[in-house]
Structure 1
């Protein structure tokens, strides 16, 4: 299609996304080459190469001069006596001369083999050729083979004047002795065959080191592939041409979507949403026909979000909606990071967020912000594709983007808020509603049992619902908690006579407990008074309120984008109570809805005071329910100390921002665990000489250099060391870095270097 190759969305959709380790940004990711171990030839190996070579040259020189003791004894013992003059090793005829040539050749071959083995020539050659590419390796070994041939047949190379090594002459001498005379050498076939065998024997070691056969086969194969095209080799169809539809025979639908892409009428949200429905249609019987019908009718706007939005008003991070990833920075290329992560982009996706994410550290230091902003932006984009629902909780200054990017905006205490937060989470069972409300009111109080507080609340809201048909509003519930037996008796009288025996019994038990020393009602009323303020008069189920109540159960059924703006000045404690209540409601709602197709996430920009023993236990149960929680904390000190370990163990992804304290770093260091590393210790020992001359030389050397003569003792061993110590986390992480662990399984942490995100190409 003309122009398709230049369309931004076509290039985005067809970009490679290779498989990578968890947390790596896969869009146009280039996997690093496999790490090469730094090999260094030991000095002992170099000395072992030179010493046998020098000894071999001296021995060969002595052999040629006849200075080796008993040099001719084996020769005379294994040859006929009539080949030599009596009592000497002087040859009588050509037999003796040729036998001596063969004898010299055998000694040279044995000497050369011994020098090569003792000097580790093969190991040295493999060390020098290990990092070479196949053409370079073949070329170097071919050059070395050519030099070796100049020593075997120097007369064949003009300008070479040295004497030939005893390689070719001993072979021909052996052929002469076996053939019975020089007449056998008059046969050209025999002579050239011997030459070929000698050349093959000389070239064989170099061909093996240079992998000549494999190199030749590869060159012939590539030349054959270039000369003869392979028509049967299928060329992969790019994603922008919708190969799944073309394979199913739906060419018209594929051409329609490809045209929408090329014309710029489809953005990345549309691509991700339509591909998701395509996968669903291919897996269901008759689903593909329904998919084709919808696309032909609505084009790129098929299955649009109920809000009608197909993009966010503004983006601040880089997203790959085809994989659901959001880029949060780049891993530093340093040795502490695993090789696969060095220099690679770091990203988060629902599979990682499904294990929950904990971010600890002050935001805004050195231009570094928490990753909660990019995460919320990614989740809101994925909600437009129908794969996610998100609830973002924070103040108005939280980095959650404009309010127009959300379907539901709740601002408790703001009269202009169109929605209200239901304190009972839309439940109808008094015990369940009381348990959630008790978690928000008293979950952070150590000396108050949440179950006892839930019982007190259930004894009041259950009878009230039986009498009035609804749960009490916050002011009414506070009055009931503070009420004495006389006021509660009035509620008892309003209960219906039939069918309320259980509620009557509950309220009678509450009347007996009211005013006693063990009564938790006054404490709950005191906590509830934080919400019973004039600013919240029309909220939390107030009678005749103008705002509509919203229940978090809705996000488990629909891909909604919800933002809850907490009150700030003068209502900090009320905000913390609301955060605890919202977290408890979300954990219950996400685990109650089973078989949900979309991912559900809760993002708390500031989770101070929100975590209780009950909510931490519930975090561990979220993973099978396709849900996750993102928690932001300035310091772990904002969580009770008894919950530090369980919290760090309950979440699968952890991020330590620059500026955390050593106390926080200790918790991260213990959670990330230890690893085995190889350490090298060098000890310098002073050398004490015993001989007078040696002492004089050492004293003179010390006088000249100013240093005593020492010897080094090097010890290499493996030790178990923390991946990051508490001190390193607190002092070694610079202000523009953070340390995340983006995985559901323990793995080394990465040093993250934030970077400015670039927006992916989109179209209206």
Structure 2
């Protein structure tokens, strides 16, 4: 059995991995290229190096420790692996100097009281309790040993009472916790096996409860033997969810597990891990750790010093990261997130498309199922210009967004549908005649109004008697005579793709292996390399094309439990009015996007606010400009905070003794005697001001706000991305 039969990347493998007991194989979908066969893998492939906290197979004990590590519920963004919850509010912390001096003074007070009692300076009243609660025969006899035991026991009780009193007065327990042996010992390990065997996740209690005891025993044995990885655990857990939801039967699942153990339910590529990992991942919670929340007064106390992590529940609201070149957008944000989503895809949980410049450092090629290198003649895959659709109107809408979306008026009420209409008037008749959409050179000729292609298209329509499409072509020819026709602009944009470097790409004749984003209803890993060097304008068109196809494709998926994510490294010139509307709709479609920008100036001014509003997670990296910081400050809003106004007033002495005391104090302290007045009031201030974002964020840090798909919020947090 494979993942569940409905989420596999159809056609992404030339020779699919044999399926021991699963649903029938799904035929390839047109537009979804085949992946070259993966070399045969040993039963237990060697595991690459791990970051701390990862379960390195074949050490079964290490994997079990990782699996049994507590992962308590936590606010959004906290790294839950081994997390120790903290109170929401910071407890009052006494300064160390005051704490130690108070403990010492209380000890001296206790010593003084004991000395006074012992030497009889306070009278004999303190022996009254002994006389009241003991018989006279105990105190008035000739047994010297018994009397000594009685009296010294009473002295010990009195000393203990004094000790408890002065200890509480001087906060001795706090001194012990802060400076004593408890502070010297290292923190205990985070992972501890659960006490109850029935709750041990390594024993797969959910399978046992459903009656699949043999399958649970096989998986537990593989885990103890070091044959199971974190990806295996996540993949089999995902397949078990398919059993519970009724997508396939328990017998099929149990048969696959008994046959293959930890290798059951494989990804179509046959891979069980990535070739190398650079970030820390926890596939039980689905999180990837990006850094550490700074121990800063501006961060809520519950977040200070905790790990900062993201997962699908946060990426489902989309993420926008803004920072100058060198601030860590690609290395600290994009690369870990792409790596995490690829692991989720191997586990059958996600489909990911990563778009960036060639050599941008978004992961090795063998970490992906499909790598589209646009403009590289060695690329094995092509990019479907029309998104795999057969509907001319849908193809026209997506292509118009790519070609002229950035030229549309971003103000409300503008009519940006003319480009879609122009393209639909040409794509419909062409497909009706040729059974396919036009290639880039053919589309350029049609938009330019070249007489030969238009006349040939008209004649073919007349020969087939398609009058309705002839009317479309007539309307197109009439509009070409108007000076405001947008076909010329579209032709100029298509000309950017009609270059020798792209001659082998965007083929529509079926001779190439085009990739279509229609395949995102399966757990596929895709990387698209854009030719930014020498073709910057064409790269922006292609980036808009991928974004438009992504937002259109994920909205019509059947299985929305499979998280789909588009990671777009450098979204300069990509944000359009339609793109912002599409991003806002992704949350309900079980999808999200990750966008990075060097500056918000790369987005038209009317779209900056809507873009920040459409993304639930917003990140401002160090080096931000003040005007970019102003946009973040506005979207993060204000909060009520306590402001203290301190006023020092000089004290004027009236009497000669007071003047002498003030003079002596001035000689000792160097300052005139003053009286301090403190005024406390509630004021509303920005969470992070534009000036603070521009100048108070240290290098390697970022300010990040979070929103989950359920609507839970986390305020802007100062995060160390190097931690």
Bin of the TM-score, shorter chain as denominator length: 0.7 to 0.9
The reply to whether residue 162 of structure 1 matches residue 122 of structure 2 is yes
The reply to whether residue 547 of structure 1 matches residue 512 of structure 2 is yes
Instruction: Write the mapping of 1:95-114 to structure 2, written as runs, cut at 5 A.
Output: none
Query: Does the 8 A contact of 2:643 with 2:681 survive in 1?
Result: yes
CA apart distance, 1:411: 1.2
The reply to whether residue 312 of structure 1 matches residue 274 of structure 2 is yes
CA apart distance, 1:676: 1.6
1:596 and 1:165 mapped to 2: Cα distance?
Answer: 81
Partner of 1:597: 561
The CA deviation string for residues 82-135 of structure 1, in whole angstroms up to 9 with x for no partner, is xxxxxxxxxxxxxxxxxxxxxxxxxxxxxxxxxxxxxxxxxxxxxx99xxxxxx
Instruction: Write the mapping of 1:122-201 to structure 2, written as runs, cut at 5 A.
Output: 160=120, 162-164=122-124
CA gap of 1:487–1:541, structure 2 versus 1, over 3 A, is closer
CA apart distance, 1:699: 6.6
Query: Does the 8 A contact of 2:58 with 2:227 survive in 1?
Result: no
Partner of 1:17: 71
CA apart distance, 1:714: 1.3
Partner of 2:249: 287
Task: Select 1:441's aligned residue among 403, 411, 424.
Answer: 403
Task: Select 2:61's aligned residue among 1, 4, 7.
Answer: 7
The reply to whether residue 258 of structure 1 matches residue 259 of structure 2 is no
Partner of 1:666: 630
CA apart distance, 1:691: 6.4
CA apart distance, 1:362: 2.6
SS at match of 2:438: coil
Partner of 1:636: 600
Extract unaligned runs of 5+ from structure 1: 42-127, 130-139, 173-184, 189-198, 211-232, 757-764
The reply to whether residue 736 of structure 1 matches residue 714 of structure 2 is no
SS at match of 2:507: coil
Partner of 2:719: 752
CA apart distance, 1:509: 0.6
SS at match of 2:354: strand
The CA deviation string for residues 582-636 of structure 1, in whole angstroms up to 9 with x for no partner, is 1011001111224433100000011111110111011111111100000011111
Structure 1 window deviating more from structure 2 (8-17 vs 708-717): it is: 708-717
CA gap of 1:594–1:640, structure 2 versus 1, over 3 A, is same
The CA deviation string for residues 47-92 of structure 1, in whole angstroms up to 9 with x for no partner, is xxxxxxxxxxxxxxxxxxxxxxxxxxxxxxxxxxxxxxxxxxxxxx
SS at match of 2:483: coil
2:452 and 2:527 mapped to 1: Cα distance?
Answer: 42
2:196 and 2:454 mapped to 1: Cα distance?
Answer: 80
| Aligned residues between the structures | 604
Query: Does the 8 A contact of 1:408 with 1:563 survive in 2?
Result: yes
Partner of 1:51: none
CA gap of 1:659–1:628, structure 2 versus 1, over 3 A, is same
CA gap of 1:413–1:289, structure 2 versus 1, over 3 A, is same
Structure 1 window deviating more from structure 2 (738-747 vs 725-734): it is: 738-747
1:587 and 1:522 mapped to 2: Cα distance?
Answer: 27
Query: Does the 8 A contact of 1:440 with 1:580 survive in 2?
Result: yes
The structure whose Rg is larger is: 1
CA gap of 1:354–1:702, structure 2 versus 1, over 3 A, is same
SS at match of 1:738: strand
SS at match of 1:369: helix
Partner of 1:456: 422
CA apart distance, 1:5: 9.0
Query: Does the 8 A contact of 1:467 with 1:496 survive in 2?
Result: no
1:39 and 1:467 mapped to 2: Cα distance?
Answer: 80
CA apart distance, 1:242: 1.6
Query: Does the 8 A contact of 1:737 with 1:754 survive in 2?
Result: yes
The CA deviation string for residues 310-331 of structure 1, in whole angstroms up to 9 with x for no partner, is 1111111111111111111111
Structure 1 window deviating more from structure 2 (276-285 vs 667-676): it is: 276-285
The CA deviation string for residues 234-256 of structure 1, in whole angstroms up to 9 with x for no partner, is 55432112222333443332221
The reply to whether residue 346 of structure 1 matches residue 346 of structure 2 is no
Task: Select 2:357's aligned residue among 381, 395, 398.
Answer: 395
CA apart distance, 1:712: 2.0
**Hey, which of these two has a bigger chunk of helix by percent?**
1
SS at match of 1:372: helix
Instruction: Write the mapping of 1:354-503 to structure 2, written as runs, cut at 5 A.
Output: 354-365=316-327, 369-446=331-408, 449-483=415-449, 488-496=454-462, 500-503=466-469
The CA deviation string for residues 450-494 of structure 1, in whole angstroms up to 9 with x for no partner, is 301111111111111112221111110110011156753442221
1:40 and 1:387 mapped to 2: Cα distance?
Answer: 48
Structure 1 window deviating more from structure 2 (294-303 vs 350-359): it is: 294-303
Partner of 1:681: 645
CA apart distance, 1:702: 5.5
SS at match of 1:712: strand
Query: Does the 8 A contact of 2:67 with 2:201 survive in 1?
Result: yes
CA apart distance, 1:351: 0.6
2:335 and 2:126 mapped to 1: Cα distance?
Answer: 79
CA apart distance, 1:283: 4.5
Query: Does the 8 A contact of 2:355 with 2:568 survive in 1?
Result: yes
SS at match of 1:326: strand
CA gap of 1:370–1:712, structure 2 versus 1, over 3 A, is same
2:208 and 2:275 mapped to 1: Cα distance?
Answer: 34
CA apart distance, 1:345: 0.8
CA apart distance, 1:369: 3.1
Instruction: Write the mapping of 1:196-345 to structure 2, written as runs, cut at 5 A.
Output: 235-284=197-246, 287-345=249-307
CA gap of 1:332–1:368, structure 2 versus 1, over 3 A, is farther
CA apart distance, 1:553: 0.9
1:496 and 1:644 mapped to 2: Cα distance?
Answer: 49
1:33 and 1:724 mapped to 2: Cα distance?
Answer: 23
The reply to whether residue 530 of structure 1 matches residue 492 of structure 2 is no
Query: Does the 8 A contact of 1:392 with 1:602 survive in 2?
Result: yes
CA apart distance, 1:370: 3.7
CA apart distance, 1:506: 0.9
CA gap of 1:588–1:523, structure 2 versus 1, over 3 A, is same
Query: Does the 8 A contact of 1:738 with 1:753 survive in 2?
Result: yes
Query: Does the 8 A contact of 1:360 with 1:655 survive in 2?
Result: yes
Structure 1 window deviating more from structure 2 (619-628 vs 449-458): it is: 449-458
The CA deviation string for residues 208-249 of structure 1, in whole angstroms up to 9 with x for no partner, is x99xxxxxxxxxxxxxxxxxxxxxx95543211222233344
TM-score between the two structures when normalised by the length of structure 2: 0.76
* Higher relative contact order, structure no. (Cα contacts within 8 Å, ≥ 6 residues apart): 2
Query: Does the 8 A contact of 1:19 with 1:26 survive in 2?
Result: yes
Query: Does the 8 A contact of 1:281 with 1:290 survive in 2?
Result: no
